[in-house]
A = this chain, B = another copy of it.
Amino acid sequence: MFTIKVTPRFGDADGLRHINNIALVEWFEVGRNPIFRLFTPDLDLSYEKWKLILVRTEFDYIGQMYYGEDVEIRSYITRIGNTSFTIGHEAWQHGELKARGKAVIVHYDFIEGKSKPISDSIRKSLEKHLIKVDEFTGETPKDKVCK
């Protein structure tokens, strides 16, 4: 599992004085950095080197988050397919799970314009971060892509 701390920005709070949903989407994207590095270690964005495209995201807003205290973003792998994989995300504030999310990402060649199988070596790297059961709640992982 990959863990980062993010500090809410003044404008991340919206008119209801809680964190707006856009901030969460951004925080989960930052949380994906170390997973992106498994594919492109220097995070070079050229079509020659970048190999991932986002195809689906989901977000569950479980509790309100507020400006004024850091948020911990936890990210892990919940599914590894042939050409795609799923990342699970959690946001914790004040020691409580405040939001959960998922991102389905396809291994993609931007020059050829098509998906590619994930190599064995990267698959092994992803497997090290695979979480089958939610270690915090004991819940069965919500790792199935919603159809």
Q: What is A's interface to B at a CB cutoff of 8 Å?
A: 4, 7, 9-11, 13-17, 20-22, 25-26, 29-30, 32-33, 36, 42-47, 50, 53-61, 67-68, 110, 142, 146-147
Contacts and interface: CB of A to CB of B under 8 A. Distances in A.
This protein's copies in its complex? 4
Instruction: Indicate the member of A14, A57, A147 with the most B CB atoms within 10 Å.
Output: A14
B15 A14 contact: yes
Nearest to A43: B68
A44 to B, nearest CB: 7
Contacts of A29: 9-11, 21-22
B57 A59 contact: yes
A14 B7 contact: no
